[in-house]
Amino acid sequence: MTTKATKSKKSPAKKTATAPDGGKAFRFDVGDSKESMKTSILNHLRYTLARHEENATQDEWWTATCYAVRDRLLDRFMKTQAVHHKQKVRRAYYLSLEYLMGRLLINNLHNAGLFEQTRDALTELGQDFNEVADEEADMGLGNGGLGRLAACFLDSLATLDLPAVGYGIHYEFGLFRQKFRDGYQVELPDNWMDKGCPWEVMRPNFAQEVKLYGRVEHQMDDKGVFKPKWVDTKTVEGVPFDISIVGYGGETVNFLRLWGARSSDEFDLDTFNQGGYTEAVHEKAFSETITKVLYPNDSTESGKELRLVQQYFFVSCSLRDIIRRFEANHSDWSEFADYNALQLNDTHPAIAIPELMRLLIDEYALEWDAAWEITRGVCNYTNHTLLPEALEKWSVPLFEKVLPRHLEIIYEINSRFLQGEVEAKWPGDDAKKSELSIIEEGNPKMVRMAYLSVVGSTKVNGVAALHTELLKKNLFATFHELYPNKLINMTNGITPRRWLLACNPGLSELITKEVGDGWPKHLDELQAISKLADNAAFQKKFMDIKRANKQAFADFVLEDSGTEISPDAIFDVQIKRLHEYKRQHLNLLHILTLYRRLLNDPDYEMNPRVFIFGAKAAPGYALAKNIIRAINKVAEKVNNDSRINGKIKIVFPQNYRITMAEKMIPAADLSEQISTAGKEASGTGNMKLALNGALTIGTLDGANVEIGEEVGDENIFIFGNTVEQVEAIKSKGYNPYDYYNSNWELKAVIDWLRSDYFTPGEHDAFAPLCSSLLEGGDPFLCLADYADYVRVQEDVDKAFSDKKRWAKMAIMNTARVGKFSSDRTIGQYAEQIWHLKPVQVEA
Ligand SMILES: *Cc1c(COP(=O)(O)O)cnc(C)c1O
């Protein structure tokens, strides 16, 4: 990707590209033709960027193109919103601390039906379309699957013509940029708005004020009614930045509203008037810190005050915005739940529950019971994890400091819940009360955000069938007894527009030729290619496209790192956040096993394999970082070992992100989904890879189970202990040494990793990793699954040798994963949770 503006412009624009009237042109031509796009792009170059086309840089062409596209989206956006407003529609509000959007240009063009003409317009203006599109920085305002799910959902909501708004935070810095130095991960700031963000519209007129800190005064009003007052607060202003979300087909344009924090005038002036100029400026800086950076922790909660402030800030802004929109059309609070449904993406926005209570009671003077009926009537909560360490808890003292009034409300919710519902169900049972209490006893006491979310929601959902069953059995078992209809399943999905149509044009074109062009909106239509799975001519076309995608990725790797990889090898791909439960280290043990076999047995037969990794580790997660370094250091050795004739290569490009995933997924043969059974809630990377014709090697975990059901046992490689077996092993007292001592090959590779073979002269480089596998008790059972994993990898190798069989399996994967379109998921949310109907916005 070109990052410097100076080296951007490769060739001067064609002379003929000058606007017809020599530069004045028609500012209001927002037609969809190629000529209209050309005029618009040139106008923006001139009137938005103040540049002559002769010396505009490539990133300026990108900016001008985005503005030209945005004009068209905004027209449809305003039309959509006018229809929604006029019809007083019910809306869904998706609240998420993360949106992993990636790049927007190419997807917006496809969805808006502007792709060909814009590509041709740029070409005729003398620009290389792909290079211009490559100027865009990823909008990486999320960590991984949870944030990407939110982005896929926005795409599906608009595509299904559902009135919806996404709310989140306008982080100045998204997920860190990753570099490797001597194999170590180094984190650098992600300055994604470097070149500006032409997609967003800042709307200061819709700013909201949020209060924080302070204390609660308990007083009576003039009628003798108890009226707590939250005083001595700090005020921060939230300014919305709106991003248009265009559905496929382009009629409905919803929006994502991201809040940026600014100091409020009031807040500054107080200090300022007391003569404290520098203090005022300091306070201003504090306000703006709130939305400065995304917390880069994945799956583990961090408990930082600023993060609680972030959560409250965006939730409060969003609720006030929702209420403002409601009040524009309605005056009766009893109607609030008829027009609004809220979805909480994990517990991160769970503070919405006490905040909505506070707004209704303290600011709109509703009674508790009425407020509670409304709050519980509109909120719904999605759980994303079974890992206990990932469940958010906030200490009561911290809560009291930042949100004292909310703490009171949470105590009241808890007390009414325990004395009311729990007492009614289990009279006199104090054990049940302390088990279900939103407040966990201890020093300090903690607020259990997941319990608050369950109590305060209409529906609670898991994200894959297995995950939901495990929630019912374990994490929320007692809640499930209390509320038997609250917990439901909504298996995750991915948008086929980004994850096939846009990222794999070769395969998309082939599919369209065979089944027509309806599949991006009706992914089940891919079923039709299963009848061609045995057809030699179709197999050849399908696998030629795979090979071309592999070649393109090989070209990228060569340019990126100088490593040569062959497109004839098996491309074995594991791309996801680095986490012990995802077991990249199990993959590494397999690589070491093959490497040893090749070195010790000159006749060892295997297809050449390229192991491809993409992963960021949370900066504070030492063991995950040690695994990254181990992969990098093993790669250095293996890739340069002439004894193995290039049979194994390991590539680990830096800075895995959406744009990288879009290159890797179309090139993958094998999809590694090898989490410890019972730990991965769903996964969505597994769906993207299967859709693009990669075969899964996986455990019976998360959505792998459902992928297996869809593609059939003969088209997936399942291995390892099941959830029940994992439980049984653990309850017997798991000892990794039992496996280490009884499997000489396993022992050999772990000992090898412990030696300084991969880090000559540097001892104990991978001691943290090796000790976690042995002395540390191997909490994620790598050793228990190792032998079966290696065995099934041999099946993979055999299957790959049979080109016809592999091609058939790959085609069957693409053909049969239509279920995993996020359109199906969102359809289920709309029907079963939000009770939301499509609203047609005529083109
Ligand atoms: C899909 C995706 C994820 C989630 O991957 P899993 O394998 O489901 O954990 C994470 N990061 C990026 C960039 C993705 O595109």
Strands 177-181 and 208-212: unpaired
Q: What's the DSSP call for residue 715?
A: G
614-632 pLDDT per residue, tens: 999 999 999 999 999 999 9
Residues 681 and 220: their CA atoms lie apart, in Å, by 48
753-795 pLDDT per residue, tens: 999 999 999 999 999 999 999 999 999 999 999 999 999 999 9
Cα 297 to ligand 1 centroid, rounded to whole Å? 14
Residues 126 and 160: their CA atoms lie apart, in Å, by 37
For the Cβ of 698 lying below 6 angstroms from any atom of ligand 1, the answer is: no
Residues 185 and 616: their CA atoms lie apart, in Å, by 8
Which whole number is the average pLDDT over 554-574? 98
Best residue among 467, 576, 616, 696 to mutate for probing ligand 1, ranked by most atoms within 8 Å of CB = 576
Is the pLDDT at 36 greater than 70? The verdict is yes
Whole-number pLDDT of residue 7? 35
Q: Nearest C-alpha to atom 3 of ligand 1 is from which residue?
A: 145
9-15 long-range Cβ contacts below 8 angstroms, 24+ apart: 9/55, 9/56, 9/57, 9/58, 10/58, 10/128, 10/131, 11/126, 11/128, 12/54, 12/126, 13/53, 13/54, 13/56, 13/125, 13/126, 13/127, 14/124, 14/125, 14/126
For the Cβ of 576 lying below 6 angstroms from any atom of ligand 1, the answer is: yes
Q: Are 356 and 315 in contact (CB under 8 A)?
A: no
- Between 128 and 265, the more confident residue is 128
Q: Which of 198-207, 380-389, 460-469 is the least confident region?
A: 380-389
Best residue among 99, 107, 138, 148 to mutate for probing ligand 1, ranked by most atoms within 8 Å of CB = 148
Looking at domain 562-802, what is its CATH homologous superfamily? Glycogen Phosphorylase B; (3.40.50.2000)
For the Cβ of 351 lying below 6 angstroms from any atom of ligand 1, the answer is: no
The rounded mean pLDDT for the chain is 95
For the Cβ of 520 lying below 6 angstroms from any atom of ligand 1, the answer is: no
- Minimum-distance ligand 1 atom for the alpha carbon of 688: 1
Is the pLDDT at 28 greater than 80? The verdict is no
Q: Are 577 and 616 in contact (CB under 8 A)?
A: yes
Which whole number is the average pLDDT over 135-161? 98
Is the pLDDT at 2 greater than 50? The verdict is no
Beta strands in 444-520 (DSSP E): 446-448, 460-462, 487-489
Residues 725 and 735: their CA atoms lie apart, in Å, by 14
Whole-number pLDDT of residue 1? 33
Q: What's the DSSP call for residue 642?
A: G
Q: Nearest C-alpha to atom 1 of ligand 1 is from which residue?
A: 685
pTM of this structure = 0.95
Is the pLDDT at 57 greater than 90? The verdict is yes
Cα 91 to ligand 1 centroid, rounded to whole Å? 28
Residue 209's closest CA among 317, 312, 292?
317
Cα 168 to ligand 1 centroid, rounded to whole Å? 19
Q: Are 90 and 650 in contact (CB under 8 A)?
A: no
Residue 839's closest CA among 162, 156, 339, 95?
162
332-349 pLDDT per residue, tens: 999 999 999 999 999 999
106-127 pLDDT per residue, tens: 999 999 999 999 999 999 999 9
410-424 pLDDT per residue, tens: 999 999 999 999 999
Is the pLDDT at 16 greater than 80? The verdict is no
Whole-number pLDDT of residue 838? 98
Residues 638 and 648: their CA atoms lie apart, in Å, by 7
So where are the chain's domains? 1-87+109-134, 562-802
Q: In the chain, pLDDT over 90 holds for what percent of residues? A: 90
Contacts (Cβ under 8 Å, ≥6 apart) of 286: 263
Whole-number pLDDT of residue 582? 98
Which whole number is the average pLDDT over 287-302? 90
pLDDT confidence tier of residue 390, bands split at 50, 70 and 90 = confident
347-367 pLDDT per residue, tens: 999 999 999 999 999 999 999
pLDDT confidence tier of residue 283, bands split at 50, 70 and 90 = confident
Which whole number is the average pLDDT over 239-262? 96
For the Cβ of 148 lying below 6 angstroms from any atom of ligand 1, the answer is: yes
Residues 737 and 743: their CA atoms lie apart, in Å, by 10
- Minimum-distance ligand 1 atom for the alpha carbon of 687: 8
Is the pLDDT at 20 greater than 80? The verdict is no
Task: Supply the residues annotated as catalytic.
Answer: 384, 576-577, 582, 684, 688
Residues 49 and 64: their CA atoms lie apart, in Å, by 8
Q: Are 376 and 458 in contact (CB under 8 A)?
A: yes
Residues 335 and 741: their CA atoms lie apart, in Å, by 67
Structure token pair of residue 49: 């960027």
Ramachandran region, residue 249 (left: φ > 0; alpha: ψ -120 to 50; beta: rest): left
Which whole number is the average pLDDT over 296-302? 83
Strands 234-246 and 200-202: antiparallel
Which whole number is the average pLDDT over 564-568? 98
Q: Are 460 and 380 in contact (CB under 8 A)?
A: yes
Residue type present at position 650 = I
Cα 777 to ligand 1 centroid, rounded to whole Å? 28
pLDDT confidence tier of residue 29, bands split at 50, 70 and 90 = confident
Q: How many other β-carbons are positioned within 10 Å of the β-carbon of residue 645? A: 9
For the Cβ of 145 lying below 6 angstroms from any atom of ligand 1, the answer is: yes
- Minimum-distance ligand 1 atom for the alpha carbon of 682: 8
Q: Which of 7-11, 600-604, 723-727 has the highest mean pLDDT?
A: 723-727
For the Cβ of 102 lying below 6 angstroms from any atom of ligand 1, the answer is: no
For the Cβ of 657 lying below 6 angstroms from any atom of ligand 1, the answer is: yes
Tell me whether residue 287 is exposed, middle or buried, using C-beta atoms within 10 angstroms of its C-beta: 0 to 12, 13 to 18, 19 or more. Answer: buried
Whole-number pLDDT of residue 298? 82
For the Cβ of 690 lying below 6 angstroms from any atom of ligand 1, the answer is: no
- Minimum-distance ligand 1 atom for the alpha carbon of 673: 7
Is the pLDDT at 19 greater than 50? The verdict is no
Best residue among 665, 684, 689 to mutate for probing ligand 1, ranked by most atoms within 8 Å of CB = 684
The tally of CA atoms less than 13 A away on the side-chain side of residue 232 is 8
Is the pLDDT at 209 greater than 60? The verdict is yes
pLDDT confidence tier of residue 300, bands split at 50, 70 and 90 = confident
Best residue among 577, 654, 660, 704 to mutate for probing ligand 1, ranked by most atoms within 8 Å of CB = 577
Cα 839 to ligand 1 centroid, rounded to whole Å? 31
Is the pLDDT at 673 greater than 50? The verdict is yes
Cα 303 to ligand 1 centroid, rounded to whole Å? 24
Residues 292 and 262: their CA atoms lie apart, in Å, by 11
Q: Nearest C-alpha to atom 15 of ligand 1 is from which residue?
A: 658
Which whole number is the average pLDDT over 267-279? 69
pLDDT confidence tier of residue 266, bands split at 50, 70 and 90 = low
**Helix, strand, coil shares, percent, the chain, to 5:** 50, 15, 35
For the Cβ of 144 lying below 6 angstroms from any atom of ligand 1, the answer is: yes
pLDDT confidence tier of residue 843, bands split at 50, 70 and 90 = low
Q: Are 673 and 698 in contact (CB under 8 A)?
A: yes
Is the pLDDT at 18 greater than 50? The verdict is no
Structure token pair of residue 440: 């966990």
Cα 378 to ligand 1 centroid, rounded to whole Å? 29
For CA atoms 17, 20, 23, 24, give the dihedral sign: negative
For the Cβ of 658 lying below 6 angstroms from any atom of ligand 1, the answer is: yes
Which whole number is the average pLDDT over 129-148? 98
Cα 686 to ligand 1 centroid, rounded to whole Å? 8
Is the pLDDT at 274 greater than 50? The verdict is yes
- To the nearest 10°, report the CA torsion of 333, 349, 704, 654: 140
Q: Which of 176-190, 292-306, 380-394, 401-415 is the least confident region?
A: 292-306
- Between 100 and 267, the more confident residue is 100
- Between 4 and 18, the more confident residue is 18
Residues 319 and 95: their CA atoms lie apart, in Å, by 10
Report the b/e string of 412-439 with b at 16+ CB within 10 A: ebbeebbeeebeeebeeeeebbeebbbb
Which whole number is the average pLDDT over 508-530? 98
For the Cβ of 456 lying below 6 angstroms from any atom of ligand 1, the answer is: no
Cα 312 to ligand 1 centroid, rounded to whole Å? 26
Which whole number is the average pLDDT over 458-481? 98
